[in-house]
Structure 1
Amino acid sequence: MDESHAEDRRLDYIQDYVLRTLQVKHELWKKCVSCEENLRILQDFLDSPGQGSLVVSVTAAGLLQPAAGFTFQSTRTKAVYFLKTRSTALSPGGMREDLVSGDLSYAPLDHLSALVDEVVAPLLCNSRNHTEWPQVVSQDVRHLIHSLKSHVFVVSGQVQGKTLLSLPFGLEGAEKASLETDKR
Protein backbone atom coordinates (compact mmCIF):
# COMPACT_ATOMS: atom_id res chain seq x y z
CA MET A 1 0.00 0.00 0.00
CA ASP A 2 1.53 3.34 -0.95
CA GLU A 3 1.83 6.44 1.24
CA SER A 4 -1.26 8.25 -0.12
CA HIS A 5 -3.54 5.30 0.70
CA ALA A 6 -2.05 4.93 4.17
CA GLU A 7 -2.97 8.52 5.05
CA ASP A 8 -6.39 8.70 3.39
CA ARG A 9 -8.80 9.91 6.08
CA ARG A 10 -11.72 8.73 3.96
CA LEU A 11 -10.49 5.14 4.31
CA ASP A 12 -10.11 5.74 8.04
CA TYR A 13 -13.80 6.67 8.22
CA ILE A 14 -14.80 3.48 6.38
CA GLN A 15 -12.41 1.44 8.54
CA ASP A 16 -13.75 2.84 11.82
CA TYR A 17 -17.35 2.14 10.85
CA VAL A 18 -16.61 -1.39 9.62
CA LEU A 19 -14.57 -2.35 12.69
CA ARG A 20 -17.08 -0.89 15.12
CA THR A 21 -20.21 -2.28 13.45
CA LEU A 22 -18.95 -5.74 12.51
CA GLN A 23 -16.93 -6.02 15.73
CA VAL A 24 -13.84 -7.40 14.03
CA LYS A 25 -10.18 -6.86 14.83
CA HIS A 26 -7.97 -4.26 13.18
CA GLU A 27 -5.76 -7.02 11.73
CA LEU A 28 -8.66 -8.13 9.51
CA TRP A 29 -8.92 -4.63 8.06
CA LYS A 30 -5.16 -4.55 7.42
CA LYS A 31 -5.40 -7.90 5.65
CA CYS A 32 -8.33 -6.63 3.60
CA VAL A 33 -6.61 -3.47 2.35
CA SER A 34 -3.34 -5.31 1.70
CA CYS A 35 -5.05 -7.05 -1.23
CA GLU A 36 -4.81 -4.84 -4.33
CA GLU A 37 -8.25 -5.84 -5.63
CA ASN A 38 -9.95 -4.95 -2.32
CA LEU A 39 -8.08 -1.66 -2.13
CA ARG A 40 -9.11 -0.85 -5.72
CA ILE A 41 -12.79 -1.47 -4.85
CA LEU A 42 -12.53 0.82 -1.82
CA GLN A 43 -10.67 3.57 -3.73
CA ASP A 44 -13.10 3.39 -6.65
CA PHE A 45 -15.98 3.95 -4.24
CA LEU A 46 -14.22 6.94 -2.67
CA ASP A 47 -13.00 8.53 -5.93
CA SER A 48 -15.51 7.57 -8.62
CA PRO A 49 -18.72 9.62 -8.85
CA GLY A 50 -20.42 6.74 -10.67
CA GLN A 51 -19.98 4.14 -7.94
CA GLY A 52 -22.78 4.84 -5.48
CA SER A 53 -22.57 1.88 -3.11
CA LEU A 54 -20.06 -0.16 -1.16
CA VAL A 55 -20.77 -3.30 0.87
CA VAL A 56 -18.19 -4.81 3.22
CA SER A 57 -19.05 -8.29 4.44
CA VAL A 58 -17.45 -10.95 6.59
CA THR A 59 -16.76 -14.07 4.51
CA ALA A 60 -17.29 -17.62 5.72
CA ALA A 61 -13.53 -17.73 6.36
CA GLY A 62 -13.86 -14.70 8.67
CA LEU A 63 -12.18 -12.21 6.31
CA LEU A 64 -13.48 -8.79 5.24
CA GLN A 65 -14.62 -8.60 1.61
CA PRO A 66 -15.59 -5.28 -0.02
CA ALA A 67 -17.93 -5.27 -3.02
CA ALA A 68 -19.12 -2.52 -5.32
CA GLY A 69 -22.75 -3.32 -4.57
CA PHE A 70 -25.15 -5.73 -2.94
CA THR A 71 -24.29 -9.32 -3.77
CA PHE A 72 -25.74 -12.67 -2.77
CA GLN A 73 -22.72 -13.20 -0.48
CA SER A 74 -23.27 -9.87 1.32
CA THR A 75 -26.86 -10.77 2.15
CA ARG A 76 -25.98 -14.17 3.66
CA THR A 77 -23.43 -12.94 6.22
CA LYS A 78 -22.87 -9.98 8.48
CA ALA A 79 -22.24 -6.89 6.37
CA VAL A 80 -22.24 -3.10 6.37
CA TYR A 81 -23.19 -0.81 3.49
CA PHE A 82 -22.31 2.71 2.43
CA LEU A 83 -24.46 4.68 -0.04
CA LYS A 84 -23.52 8.04 -1.52
CA THR A 85 -26.18 10.72 -1.24
CA ARG A 86 -24.80 12.48 -4.34
CA SER A 87 -22.96 11.22 -7.42
CA THR A 88 -19.59 12.71 -6.54
CA ALA A 89 -16.16 11.79 -5.26
CA LEU A 90 -16.07 11.81 -1.47
CA SER A 91 -14.08 14.45 0.40
CA PRO A 92 -12.42 13.79 3.77
CA GLY A 93 -14.47 16.51 5.47
CA GLY A 94 -17.84 15.52 4.02
CA MET A 95 -18.02 11.81 4.77
CA ARG A 96 -20.81 12.13 7.34
CA GLU A 97 -22.94 14.34 5.09
CA ASP A 98 -22.29 12.52 1.80
CA LEU A 99 -22.77 8.94 3.04
CA VAL A 100 -25.63 6.88 4.39
CA SER A 101 -24.40 3.78 6.17
CA GLY A 102 -25.87 0.89 8.05
CA ASP A 103 -25.60 -2.79 8.74
CA LEU A 104 -27.25 -5.63 6.88
CA SER A 105 -28.83 -8.45 8.77
CA TYR A 106 -28.01 -12.00 7.80
CA ALA A 107 -31.65 -12.84 8.64
CA PRO A 108 -33.62 -9.93 7.14
CA LEU A 109 -36.89 -11.83 6.91
CA ASP A 110 -36.85 -12.57 10.64
CA HIS A 111 -36.23 -8.89 11.34
CA LEU A 112 -39.03 -7.86 8.99
CA SER A 113 -41.38 -10.30 10.69
CA ALA A 114 -40.51 -8.92 14.13
CA LEU A 115 -40.88 -5.33 12.89
CA VAL A 116 -44.33 -6.02 11.42
CA ASP A 117 -45.55 -8.02 14.45
CA GLU A 118 -44.15 -5.79 17.19
CA VAL A 119 -44.19 -2.28 15.72
CA VAL A 120 -46.25 -1.80 12.57
CA ALA A 121 -49.28 -3.94 13.43
CA PRO A 122 -49.79 -2.68 17.00
CA LEU A 123 -49.33 0.91 15.87
CA LEU A 124 -51.69 0.80 12.90
CA CYS A 125 -54.28 -1.57 14.33
CA ASN A 126 -54.74 0.38 17.55
CA SER A 127 -58.14 2.07 17.21
CA ARG A 128 -56.98 4.99 19.38
CA ASN A 129 -54.47 5.93 16.64
CA HIS A 130 -57.16 6.48 14.03
CA THR A 131 -60.08 8.03 15.87
CA GLU A 132 -60.30 10.76 13.22
CA TRP A 133 -60.40 8.28 10.33
CA PRO A 134 -63.61 7.15 8.65
CA GLN A 135 -64.69 3.64 9.65
CA VAL A 136 -64.08 2.31 6.12
CA VAL A 137 -60.45 3.51 6.13
CA SER A 138 -59.88 2.07 9.59
CA GLN A 139 -61.20 -1.34 8.53
CA ASP A 140 -59.19 -1.26 5.32
CA VAL A 141 -55.96 -0.50 7.21
CA ARG A 142 -56.63 -3.39 9.61
CA HIS A 143 -57.25 -5.75 6.67
CA LEU A 144 -54.08 -4.60 4.90
CA ILE A 145 -51.97 -5.02 8.04
CA HIS A 146 -53.41 -8.50 8.57
CA SER A 147 -52.60 -9.34 4.95
CA LEU A 148 -49.04 -8.07 5.38
CA LYS A 149 -48.57 -10.11 8.56
CA SER A 150 -49.97 -13.19 6.85
CA HIS A 151 -47.71 -12.86 3.82
CA VAL A 152 -44.60 -12.31 5.93
CA PHE A 153 -45.51 -15.30 8.11
CA VAL A 154 -46.05 -17.62 5.13
CA VAL A 155 -42.89 -16.47 3.32
CA SER A 156 -40.84 -16.90 6.52
CA GLY A 157 -42.09 -20.46 6.71
CA GLN A 158 -41.26 -21.11 3.06
CA VAL A 159 -37.70 -19.85 3.56
CA GLN A 160 -37.32 -22.24 6.51
CA GLY A 161 -38.72 -25.10 4.43
CA LYS A 162 -41.93 -25.30 6.46
CA THR A 163 -45.56 -24.87 5.55
CA LEU A 164 -47.00 -22.21 7.84
CA LEU A 165 -50.56 -20.96 7.55
CA SER A 166 -51.73 -17.72 9.06
CA LEU A 167 -54.87 -17.27 11.12
CA PRO A 168 -57.91 -15.81 9.36
CA PHE A 169 -58.70 -12.14 9.91
CA GLY A 170 -60.51 -11.42 13.17
CA LEU A 171 -59.22 -14.34 15.21
CA GLU A 172 -56.79 -12.12 17.11
CA GLY A 173 -59.76 -10.73 19.05
CA ALA A 174 -61.03 -14.25 19.81
CA GLU A 175 -57.61 -15.20 21.14
CA LYS A 176 -57.57 -12.16 23.47
CA ALA A 177 -61.10 -12.93 24.69
CA SER A 178 -60.07 -16.51 25.39
CA LEU A 179 -57.11 -15.31 27.47
CA GLU A 180 -59.35 -12.95 29.47
CA THR A 181 -61.85 -15.77 30.12
CA ASP A 182 -59.05 -18.01 31.36
CA LYS A 183 -57.94 -15.35 33.87
CA ARG A 184 -61.32 -15.35 35.58
Structure 2
Amino acid sequence: MLARKELKRFSRMLLGATFAKVEVIYEDEEAIKALDKSSGIVVVSNHQSNLDPPLINGYFPMDLGFVAKKEMASWPFYGIWMRKSHCIFLDRSNPREGIKSIKKAVKIIKSGYPTAIFPEGARSLTEEMGDFKKGSFRLATDTNGIIVPVTVKGTYDIQRRGSIWMKMGRKVKLIIDKPIDVKESSMEERKMLDIKVKKIIEENYRRY
Protein backbone atom coordinates (compact mmCIF):
# COMPACT_ATOMS: atom_id res chain seq x y z
CA MET A 1 0.00 0.00 0.00
CA LEU A 2 1.42 3.33 -1.13
CA ALA A 3 0.14 5.21 1.93
CA ARG A 4 2.06 2.89 4.28
CA LYS A 5 5.23 3.37 2.27
CA GLU A 6 4.80 7.14 2.56
CA LEU A 7 4.17 6.79 6.30
CA LYS A 8 7.46 4.88 6.59
CA ARG A 9 9.24 7.64 4.68
CA PHE A 10 7.78 10.35 6.92
CA SER A 11 8.69 8.28 9.98
CA ARG A 12 12.34 8.17 8.99
CA MET A 13 12.32 11.89 8.23
CA LEU A 14 10.88 12.62 11.68
CA LEU A 15 13.58 10.56 13.41
CA GLY A 16 16.17 12.13 11.16
CA ALA A 17 15.14 15.58 12.32
CA THR A 18 16.35 14.64 15.83
CA PHE A 19 19.68 13.31 14.44
CA ALA A 20 18.94 10.08 16.30
CA LYS A 21 21.45 7.26 15.81
CA VAL A 22 19.21 4.25 15.17
CA GLU A 23 20.38 0.67 15.63
CA VAL A 24 18.14 -2.25 14.65
CA ILE A 25 18.87 -5.56 16.39
CA TYR A 26 17.31 -8.87 15.34
CA GLU A 27 17.06 -11.98 17.47
CA ASP A 28 16.19 -13.97 14.32
CA GLU A 29 16.25 -11.80 11.20
CA GLU A 30 15.51 -14.66 8.78
CA ALA A 31 12.37 -15.66 10.70
CA ILE A 32 11.07 -12.08 10.66
CA LYS A 33 11.74 -11.52 6.97
CA ALA A 34 10.13 -14.87 6.11
CA LEU A 35 6.80 -13.86 7.69
CA ASP A 36 3.74 -13.85 5.46
CA LYS A 37 1.58 -10.74 5.92
CA SER A 38 -1.55 -12.80 5.31
CA SER A 39 -0.83 -14.81 8.49
CA GLY A 40 -1.96 -11.85 10.63
CA ILE A 41 1.01 -10.00 12.08
CA VAL A 42 0.77 -7.98 15.29
CA VAL A 43 3.82 -6.03 16.45
CA VAL A 44 3.79 -5.49 20.23
CA SER A 45 6.07 -2.88 21.79
CA ASN A 46 6.81 -1.01 24.99
CA HIS A 47 6.02 2.71 24.88
CA GLN A 48 8.47 5.42 25.99
CA SER A 49 7.85 8.44 23.80
CA ASN A 50 5.81 10.04 21.01
CA LEU A 51 8.72 9.01 18.79
CA ASP A 52 8.02 5.30 19.23
CA PRO A 53 5.53 5.03 16.32
CA PRO A 54 7.91 6.77 13.87
CA LEU A 55 10.81 4.60 15.08
CA ILE A 56 8.93 1.31 14.69
CA ASN A 57 7.26 2.31 11.46
CA GLY A 58 10.45 3.66 9.96
CA TYR A 59 12.73 0.75 10.81
CA PHE A 60 10.60 -2.39 11.11
CA PRO A 61 11.13 -4.44 7.91
CA MET A 62 7.45 -4.23 6.89
CA ASP A 63 5.08 -1.37 6.22
CA LEU A 64 2.93 -1.04 9.34
CA GLY A 65 -0.21 0.59 10.61
CA PHE A 66 -0.92 1.31 14.27
CA VAL A 67 -3.50 1.18 16.98
CA ALA A 68 -2.78 4.65 18.35
CA LYS A 69 -4.32 7.21 20.67
CA LYS A 70 -6.91 9.36 18.91
CA GLU A 71 -4.83 12.52 19.46
CA MET A 72 -2.32 11.29 16.87
CA ALA A 73 -4.93 11.71 14.14
CA SER A 74 -4.41 15.48 14.44
CA TRP A 75 -0.61 15.38 14.04
CA PRO A 76 0.42 17.60 11.10
CA PHE A 77 1.14 15.52 7.96
CA TYR A 78 1.89 12.36 9.97
CA GLY A 79 -1.73 12.03 11.11
CA ILE A 80 -2.95 12.34 7.52
CA TRP A 81 -0.78 9.43 6.38
CA MET A 82 -1.79 7.39 9.43
CA ARG A 83 -5.45 7.77 8.45
CA LYS A 84 -4.64 6.71 4.89
CA SER A 85 -2.67 3.71 6.14
CA HIS A 86 -5.51 1.90 7.91
CA CYS A 87 -4.35 3.00 11.35
CA ILE A 88 -6.91 2.71 14.16
CA PHE A 89 -7.33 5.66 16.52
CA LEU A 90 -8.33 4.56 20.00
CA ASP A 91 -10.46 6.66 22.35
CA ARG A 92 -9.20 5.51 25.74
CA SER A 93 -11.91 7.46 27.56
CA ASN A 94 -14.68 5.38 25.93
CA PRO A 95 -14.39 1.61 26.60
CA ARG A 96 -17.26 0.74 24.26
CA GLU A 97 -15.68 2.59 21.35
CA GLY A 98 -12.36 1.02 22.29
CA ILE A 99 -13.82 -2.47 21.79
CA LYS A 100 -15.16 -1.42 18.39
CA SER A 101 -11.72 -0.11 17.44
CA ILE A 102 -10.02 -3.38 18.40
CA LYS A 103 -12.55 -5.36 16.32
CA LYS A 104 -11.88 -3.07 13.37
CA ALA A 105 -8.14 -3.58 13.81
CA VAL A 106 -8.62 -7.37 13.81
CA LYS A 107 -10.35 -7.13 10.41
CA ILE A 108 -7.51 -5.00 9.04
CA ILE A 109 -4.88 -7.49 10.26
CA LYS A 110 -6.80 -10.43 8.78
CA SER A 111 -6.81 -8.55 5.47
CA GLY A 112 -3.01 -8.75 5.39
CA TYR A 113 -2.02 -5.43 6.92
CA PRO A 114 0.49 -5.84 9.80
CA THR A 115 -0.39 -3.60 12.73
CA ALA A 116 1.49 -2.45 15.82
CA ILE A 117 0.09 -1.79 19.28
CA PHE A 118 1.42 -0.49 22.61
CA PRO A 119 -0.23 -2.64 25.31
CA GLU A 120 0.80 -0.29 28.13
CA GLY A 121 -1.82 2.06 26.71
CA ALA A 122 0.25 5.18 27.37
CA ARG A 123 3.85 6.31 27.41
CA SER A 124 5.92 5.41 30.46
CA LEU A 125 6.41 8.13 33.06
CA THR A 126 9.81 6.59 33.78
CA GLU A 127 11.96 4.03 31.98
CA GLU A 128 10.08 1.31 33.89
CA MET A 129 7.39 -0.45 31.85
CA GLY A 130 3.78 -0.40 32.92
CA ASP A 131 1.44 -3.39 32.92
CA PHE A 132 0.53 -4.84 29.52
CA LYS A 133 -3.24 -4.77 29.10
CA LYS A 134 -4.69 -8.16 28.21
CA GLY A 135 -7.23 -6.59 25.87
CA SER A 136 -4.45 -5.50 23.54
CA PHE A 137 -3.63 -9.14 22.85
CA ARG A 138 -7.07 -9.72 21.34
CA LEU A 139 -5.51 -8.42 18.14
CA ALA A 140 -3.40 -11.58 18.02
CA THR A 141 -5.76 -14.11 19.62
CA ASP A 142 -8.82 -13.06 17.58
CA THR A 143 -6.68 -13.06 14.44
CA ASN A 144 -5.04 -16.37 15.41
CA GLY A 145 -1.92 -14.78 14.01
CA ILE A 146 1.69 -13.92 14.75
CA ILE A 147 3.04 -11.69 17.55
CA VAL A 148 6.38 -9.96 17.02
CA PRO A 149 7.73 -8.58 20.33
CA VAL A 150 9.62 -5.33 19.80
CA THR A 151 11.67 -3.42 22.37
CA VAL A 152 12.15 0.34 22.03
CA LYS A 153 15.12 1.80 23.89
CA GLY A 154 16.38 5.37 23.85
CA THR A 155 13.37 7.38 22.66
CA TYR A 156 12.74 8.26 26.32
CA ASP A 157 16.03 10.18 26.23
CA ILE A 158 14.89 12.23 23.22
CA GLN A 159 11.46 13.29 24.42
CA ARG A 160 9.86 12.30 27.70
CA ARG A 161 6.18 12.25 28.49
CA GLY A 162 4.97 15.70 29.49
CA SER A 163 7.80 17.53 27.73
CA ILE A 164 7.69 19.38 24.40
CA TRP A 165 11.49 19.52 24.21
CA MET A 166 13.56 17.12 22.17
CA LYS A 167 17.22 16.25 22.66
CA MET A 168 19.33 15.81 19.57
CA GLY A 169 21.72 13.05 18.51
CA ARG A 170 20.67 10.35 20.98
CA LYS A 171 21.25 6.62 20.49
CA VAL A 172 18.09 4.65 19.84
CA LYS A 173 17.67 0.87 19.60
CA LEU A 174 14.89 -1.19 18.06
CA ILE A 175 15.18 -4.82 19.17
CA ILE A 176 13.04 -7.21 17.12
CA ASP A 177 12.51 -10.59 18.78
CA LYS A 178 11.45 -13.96 17.37
CA PRO A 179 7.85 -14.31 16.17
CA ILE A 180 5.32 -16.07 18.40
CA ASP A 181 2.72 -18.15 16.52
CA VAL A 182 -0.56 -17.89 18.43
CA LYS A 183 -1.98 -20.91 16.57
CA GLU A 184 0.65 -23.08 18.25
CA SER A 185 -0.18 -21.79 21.73
CA SER A 186 -2.43 -23.65 24.13
CA MET A 187 -5.42 -21.94 25.76
CA GLU A 188 -3.41 -21.50 28.96
CA GLU A 189 -0.51 -19.99 27.03
CA ARG A 190 -2.88 -17.57 25.30
CA LYS A 191 -4.14 -16.37 28.66
CA MET A 192 -0.56 -15.58 29.67
CA LEU A 193 0.54 -13.85 26.47
CA ASP A 194 0.63 -10.42 28.15
CA ILE A 195 3.09 -11.70 30.77
CA LYS A 196 5.19 -13.70 28.29
CA VAL A 197 5.58 -10.85 25.80
CA LYS A 198 6.30 -8.25 28.47
CA LYS A 199 9.04 -10.51 29.89
CA ILE A 200 10.67 -10.81 26.46
CA ILE A 201 10.58 -7.04 25.93
CA GLU A 202 11.92 -6.31 29.42
CA GLU A 203 14.76 -8.82 29.06
CA ASN A 204 15.82 -7.28 25.74
CA TYR A 205 15.65 -3.81 27.27
CA ARG A 206 18.05 -4.87 30.01
CA ARG A 207 20.29 -6.89 27.71
CA TYR A 208 20.86 -4.22 25.10
Normalising by structure 1, what TM-score?
0.24
Normalising by structure 2, what TM-score?
0.22
Structure richer in helix, relative to its length:
1
Structure index of larger Rg: 1
Which is bigger in relative contact order (C-alpha 8 A, separation at least 6)?
2
